[in-house]
A and B are shown apart, each in its own frame.
Chain A
Amino acid sequence: KAGVTQTPRYLIKTRGQQVTLSCSPISGHRSVSWYQQTPGQGLQFLFEYFSETQRNKGNFPGRFSGRQFSNSRSEMNVSTLELGDSALYLCASRGRRYETQYFGPGTRLLVL
């Protein structure tokens, strides 16, 4: 099976812009979770989607949003970008609750 894929791999944006990141899960996986990794805060959970519904949400401002499509592909959007949003954004997919989460290669976002 192909692994989790994320696009784009790298992005440079300026403050105030918005950005959309995409994640395609492993075939057959219906759960997609998103994480942000920064040097200061480490790896933090953003949200989880299952069958097009947000099932869980981390402690991030409303500027961070996401959605999931009927084919389980997911997107996350960050509006009004701030310098502190510069990070590695990782998504993960799984087949069943509490099973292994498999991670994609990530999207590196730099906000100038």
Chain B
Amino acid sequence: GIQVEQSPPDLILQEGANSTLRCNFSDSVNNLQWFHQNPWGQLINLFYIPSGTKQNGRLSATTVATERYSLLYISSSQTTDSGVYFCAVERGSGNTGKLIFGQGTTLQVKP
């Protein structure tokens, strides 16, 4: 099956720093989403981005589908950005509804 790999597994930043999280996937996908998991466990949608570039405030994401990777950029990080970031992909027909998650990047932002 498709493999999803995220890097780095852990990241520690000082408040105000910028960071880039990477997601590599091993096959073509119909859907790619980035999530932030809050301390209570809920997955918060950041981006739906099977291809192209999107921005939302201090966060932006780029997916290069032909090269099978996606990047999540966090600028001017804040302590509230701490948590686990997941990338998840969905294949085509026959695999509908099934998001395959990477193992996540744990981000800690220090004040």
Contact = CB atoms under 8 A, between A and B. Distances in A.
| Interface size class of chain A, counting residues whose CB lies under 8 Å from the partner chain | 20 to 34
Contacts of B33: 100-101
Interface centre among B33, B35, B86 (most CB of A within 10 A): B33
Contact of A35 (B40, B44, B45, B99): B99
Nearest to B100: A45
| Interface size class of chain B, counting residues whose CB lies under 8 Å from the partner chain | 20 to 34
Interface in A42-94: 42-45, 48, 50, 55-56, 58, 88, 90, 92, 94
Nearest to B47: A100
Contacts of A102: 45
A56 B95 contact: yes
A31 B97 contact: yes
A101 B89 CA distance: 11
B86 A43 contact: yes
Contacts of A37: 41
A48 B94 CA distance: 11
Interface in B7-54: 30-31, 33, 35, 40-45, 48, 50
Interface secondary structure of A, over-half rule: strand
Given A105-B41, A106-B41, A42 B97 contact: no
A33 B101 contact: no
Given A88-B41, A104-B42, A45 B99 contact: yes
A55 B97 contact: yes
Contact of A98 (B35, B44, B96): B96
27 contacts: A31-B97, A33-B98, A42-B101, A42-B103, A42-B104, A43-B99, A44-B101, A45-B98, A48-B96, A48-B97, A48-B98, A55-B96, A55-B97, A88-B41, A90-B41, A90-B43, A92-B43, A97-B96, A98-B31, A100-B45, A101-B33, A103-B35, A103-B42, A103-B45, A105-B42, A106-B41, A108-B41
Interface of A: 31, 33, 35, 37, 42-45, 48, 50, 55-56, 58, 88, 90, 92, 94, 97-106, 108
